[in-house]
């Protein structure tokens, strides 16, 4: 970061107010000022350096929440610096620490799921940017249990999308029962898929990219794919069977219909792992599940400590998110670019502008 940027950040940290982008109803954005306040017990206050725009932001921006009339700040791919700590925060965290916050805003450590160690499914966990205010802002507040320690050397604009999109693909792949060298397919080469191909290659798999049309074949190869399937020219399940069958298929497309034929491309005991949220159902015949003992399951995300593992893995293996950066003041324009599928492939907001 340049000296001028450091001075701008210092001035921002001293200000009594900060800018946020709120949304009400459906796509009713507003850039407003709020007063800085001390964090609540168990929370920290973060000076935001970067915040990614994710497809899940539709829950806030399109009014898909219990009370869309209440303003909320979207955004759950946050990297910033701790400014202040509330009472009861673990002393491992200090002002000046660079931290991240993802979609899951920190487990409560007391519910039934937490007592079983299942922090992802905590029943009292804030959903950042959807249930509680997120990172389309100069300042954000977060539970300390949800903080991700950002490793040195990770640029905030490069790293922000990895806190959600990256973690989603990382967790989907490492939780699957596929040994290195297995055939692993990634359906879709977009915000999730372009990262998934890189993760799968870094994990030592034989990677197949599946998407519509031939236009992205060269890009898939650059990202690390060994094979490419154009689903407009051939049945992707049959094509995977000709390659020997996939141990894992990670489906990222927002279309259940496009995922349905993939099950037939699984090898024995293979898994179709769904990470792309689609409005239509996946249709699977019982015989396609029974014969070969195939599995279809969803994968949400990971815990804060798994996100730290993810970021170290990214740095060790040179995985990169392809990002466009927009000023905070242009958040509505940036969101439109994301939701229309025009971004290549992720968008990050710069709160300094």
pLDDT for res 11: 52
Taken in order 153, 168, 120, 180, the sign of the CA dihedral is negative
Q: Which residues face 186 on adjacent strands?
A: 209, 250
> Rounded to an integer, what distance in angstroms lies between the CA atom of residue 23 and that of residue 299?
28
Q: How many residues does the chain have?
A: 353
The CATH number that domain 167-298 falls under is 3.40.50.720
For residue 117, give Cα distances in angstroms to 107, 108, 112, 121, 195: 10, 11, 9, 9, 28
Q: Is the pLDDT of residue 165 over 60?
A: yes
Exposure letters 110-122 (e unless 16+ CB within 10 A, then b): ebebbeeeebeeb
pLDDT classification of 77: cutoffs 50, 70, 90 = very high
CA 323/CA 52 separation, integer angstroms: 9
- The whole-angstrom separation of Cα 112 and Cα 104 is 17
The answer to whether 275 touches 251, Cβ cutoff 8 Å, is: yes
Give percent of the chain with pLDDT exceeding 90: 95
- pLDDT the model gives residue 1: 42
**Which pLDDT belongs to residue 64?**
95
Contact indicator for 78, 100 with CB cutoff of 8 Å: yes
Q: Which residues contact 62 (CB under 8 A, 6 or more apart)?
A: 26, 27
| pLDDT given for residue 12 in this prediction | 54
Q: If you average pLDDT over residues 278-307, what whole number do you get? A: 96
pLDDT score for 2: 44
What's the rounded mean pLDDT across residues 99-103?
Answer: 98
Which residues 6+ apart lie within 8 Å of 330 measured at CB? none
pLDDT digits (tens, 9 = 90+) for 222-261: 999 999 999 999 999 999 999 999 999 999 999 999 999 9
d(CA 120, CA 41): 22
Q: What angle (nearest 5°) sits at the alpha carbon of residue 133, between those of residues 129 and 138?
A: 105
Torsion from C-alpha of 106, 167, 151, 94, nearest 10 degrees: -10
338-344: long-range contacts, CB 8 A cutoff, minimum separation 24? 338/53, 338/54, 338/55, 338/57, 338/191, 339/55, 339/58, 339/61, 341/190, 343/191
pLDDT at 3: 42
What would the pLDDT profile of 126-152 be if each residue is shown by its tens digit?
A: 999 999 999 999 999 999 999 999 999
Could you report the per-residue pLDDT of 17-63, keeping only the tens digit for each? Answer: 999 999 999 999 999 999 999 999 999 999 999 999 999 999 999 99
Range 336-350 average pLDDT: 96
* Alpha carbon distance 72, 41 (integer Å): 21
pLDDT over threshold 70, residue 92: yes
The pLDDT tens digits for 259-274 are 999 999 999 999 999 9
| Mean predicted confidence (pLDDT) in 53-76 | 97
d(CA 145, CA 168): 19
Mean of the per-residue pLDDT values of the chain: 95
Please give the distance of CA 149 from its chain centroid, rounded to a whole number: 16
The domain ranges of the chain are 3-161+302-350, 167-298
Segment 84-113 mean pLDDT: 98
Query: CATH for 3-161+302-350, among 1.10.287.3510, 3.30.310.80, 3.90.180.10, 3.40.50.300?
Result: 3.90.180.10
The 10s digit of each residue's pLDDT in 190-226 is 999 999 999 999 999 999 999 999 999 999 999 999 9
pLDDT tens-digit readout, 3-21: 444 444 545 556 899 999 9
Same fold, 3-161+302-350 and 167-298: no
The pTM of the whole model exceeds 0.75: yes
Alpha carbon distance 183, 226 (integer Å): 10
């Amino acid at each position: 970061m340049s000296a001028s940027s450091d001075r701008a950040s210092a001035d921002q940290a001293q200000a009594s107010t900060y800018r946020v982008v709120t949304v009400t109803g459906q796509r009713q954005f507003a850039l407003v000022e709020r007063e800085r306040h001390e964090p609540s017990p168990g929370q920290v206050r973060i000076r935001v350096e970067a915040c990614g725009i994710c497809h899940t932001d539709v829950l806030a921006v399109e009014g898909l929440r219990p009370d869309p009339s209440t303003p909320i700040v979207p955004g759950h791919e946050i990297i910033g610096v701790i400014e202040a700590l509330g009472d009861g925060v673990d002393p491992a965290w200090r002002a000046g620490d660079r931290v991240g916050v993802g979609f899951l805003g920190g487990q409560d450590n007391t519910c039934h799921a937490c007592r079983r160690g299942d922090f992802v499914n905590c029943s009292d966990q804030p959903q950042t940017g959807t249930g509680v205010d997120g990172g389309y802002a100069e300042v954000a507040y977060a539970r300390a249990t949800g903080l991700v320690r950002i490793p040195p050397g990770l640029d905030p604009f490069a790293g922000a999308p990895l806190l959600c999109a990256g973690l989603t693909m990382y967790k989907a792949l490492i939780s699957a029962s596929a040994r290195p060298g297995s055939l692993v397919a990634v359906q879709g080469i977009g915000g999730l898929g372009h990262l998934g191909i890189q993760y799968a290659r870094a994990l030592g798999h034989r990677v197949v990219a599946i998407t519509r049309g031939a236009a992205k074949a060269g890009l898939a190869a650059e990202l690390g794919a060994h094979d490419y399937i154009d689903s407009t020219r051939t049945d992707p399940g049959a094509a995977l069977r000709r390659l020997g069958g996939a141990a894992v298929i990670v489906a990222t497309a927002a279309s259940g219909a496009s995922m349905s034929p993939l099950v037939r491309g699984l090898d024995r005991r293979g898994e179709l792992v769904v990470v792309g949220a689609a409005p239509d159902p996946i249709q699977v015949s019982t015989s396609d599940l029974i014969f070969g003992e195939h599995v279809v399951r969803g994968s949400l995300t990971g815990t804060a400590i798994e996100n730290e593992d993810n970021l170290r893995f990214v740095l060790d293996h040179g995985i990169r998110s392809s990002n466009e950066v927009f000023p905070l003041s242009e958040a509505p324009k940036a969101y439109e670019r994301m939701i229309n599928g025009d971004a290549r492939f992720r968008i990050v907001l710069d709160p300094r502008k």
